[in-house]
Structure 1
């Protein structure tokens, strides 16, 4: 995803519409749309804007994907369409179950840190993919990102210095973000993470120990 930098939800959705996302990021967006069907309106608008923009772009410029995406984002949105009805609540959306082959109750979690579990799906289409589980009230040690990371909340919620992320929300982070996500106290936070480079710990050793045993 570094070669196609993603820094906002709008740019993420624009790349989804343009078909330039790697497979795990595309699954993440489709899972987001299952959980937040109202955002299908944004995607439908982007698709309509893309069609309008493509008619206005010089065909010789179509090989430049960045120019095409810029045209999509800058176009004026047409009249919005009605949002699809919300599906029945499930922990894992159907597209994610199809992608990983099982549902939430069957995840073979492994404890990586106190209060933090992970299921590592490995490298897929140039991205590293994992499911994560954070104990209620647990703070993840401070870190930044050497590349781009997309995190989709599947159940529960977490907060960091930028805001609060609940079921269906996507957190977009890169090397400009240094944060300490903290799961809400009511229930574990379960999510899907797609990244194109490793994390980099930034907190002091004392802070890290405090986060892990707090």
Structure 2
């Protein structure tokens, strides 16, 4: 099976301002984000990428632009990896939204959260997981591909891969320009990394042997054994 790198976009101007950008057009990276995105070329230098799939939002496309150019890849835009449609919450201050009654639902019972004039988080998970799995099925078994999307979208995909209920997805941290890694098999996904902002790419490399669906009983002795299992 293929290996999926889930990349959250680098820090955006909205992140720095403490606002909820949502699907607002024209939200690019701030100075920190530009530096983070530039660092991706070096961070992923040892990883052979078959394809880059990206959310339609500008901040995601800006994040992968340099990496895609260096690899001579044309990113595939995937609408179902777009940011959550936050509806009437879009563009508002996070500090202000924290006073809204819906905030507690989003934090404690996200599967029931539906943003006014927008979409529900359960709907987000359904579309994102379906898109990721469909793209993964297109990839060669020993390939690595990257999907650049948004924090809540990645958390929803990871919750599915971990077999967690969506109501627990707020326990997952996904920082700007972090990578999380999932390898899907015939019967279950394996989550190799979550919220990694470092430069160790050992877990991103394609397995040397055929990937099986069985987990290692008693625990793995390291990355190589996990790949063989």
TM (normalized to structure 1)? 0.34
> Which one has a bigger Cα radius of gyration?
1
TM (normalized to structure 2)? 0.33
Q: Which has the higher strand share?
A: 1
Of the two structures, which has the highest relative contact order with CA contacts closer than 8 Å and spacing of 6 or more? 2
